[in-house]
Amino acid sequence: MVKQRTLDHAIRCSGIGLHSGKKIELVLSPADVDTGIVFVRSDLGVEIKGHVDSVVDTRLCTTIGHGEATIATVEHIMSALAGLGIDNARIEVSGAEVPVMDGSASPFIFLIQCAGIVEQDKAKKVLRIKKRVSIEEDDKSCALYPASGFRVAYHLDYDHPLLTDCKVSFDFSRQGYAREVSRARTFGFIHEVEALQKAGLALGGSMDNAVVLDKYGVLNEGGLRYVDECARHKVLDTVGDLFLAGYPIVGAFEGVRSGHAMNCQIVKALLADETAWSIEELEDTVSQPAEVTASTLPLAT
């Protein structure tokens, strides 16, 4: 039986909110079996389930909310939790955003590894995709369909020398999330960043937490972490958004120019069709990412 996982102990960090530019305190704690991922606005005392039903905005990032309380930019920490096979966790934040850290999921991977991961006395549950579900909008599209394990393919195609017809694909039964995906940073164009900051957004954005591009290339002094880093970051975002289904997904995702809005739409479309999925307990390791069968961290190498 593959067991559910949580953290061994609580751990905290602080960082800057990407859009507010304010300092945010974050505490990541263990949670009981079948809790799932729960966010808490510690300044307001409001809990918000890490689920697609809690999503209230998908412009620029994925934002969840309950009543007047919202938490933005949840996708990177959700991606790290999914990548490390964490089923149950409590995430307290002192403001309206998860801190952006370096713009990737890597700092959260480090945080979780420092806290330690423990197995719990109940079988891991997964959402197995049983039939294809897809959506299209102009030149954008995405689909979920049956597959063994978990695979994500993405086609990035912007009018930019580094972002034209860039295709990446990851089969996490053979490729490690932490090594191949988690370090990919969010990205943006310098003219868009300037416009957003004038509008009171992206106030915490800088070359310390994003890949910044002009018309011809990368402005960051250190360059890219991967030659296709921007496409890999789209995969990182997708992994986090898909985990808002409430369970790890067994199946495959394909996206073309898709983003947070379409990611959340496809999860909602999937869950709305009860013939398209099933919740299963893992009694063995068939069709699971290879790392889940090991004693080390799942999906991470």
What is the pLDDT, as a whole number, of residue 284? 62
Kindly report, residue by residue over 108-146, the tens digit of the pLDDT.
Answer: 999 999 999 999 999 999 999 999 999 999 999 999 999
Amino acid at 170: F
Does the pLDDT of residue 291 top 70, yes or no? Answer: no
Count Cα neighbours of 206 within 13 Å in the Cβ-side half-sphere: 9
Does the pLDDT of residue 15 top 60, yes or no? Answer: yes
**Annotation marks residue 19 as catalytic:** no
**pLDDT tier, 296 (very low <50, low <70, confident <90, very high otherwise):** very low
What is the pLDDT, as a whole number, of residue 193? 80
Q: What percent of the chain has pLDDT over 90?
A: 82
Helices marked H in 84-211 — which ranges? 106-115, 177-180, 190-198
Q: What is the CATH number of domain 126-293?
A: 3.30.1700.10
Q: Of 253, 250, 226, 243, which Cα lies nearest the Cα of 106?
A: 226
Does the pLDDT of residue 248 top 90, yes or no? Answer: yes
Of the candidates 19, 76, 233, 260, the residue annotated as catalytic is 260
Query: So where are the chain's domains?
Result: 3-123, 126-293
**CATH pick for 3-123 out of 1.10.3720.10, 3.30.230.20, 3.50.50.60, 2.60.40.1180:** 3.30.230.20
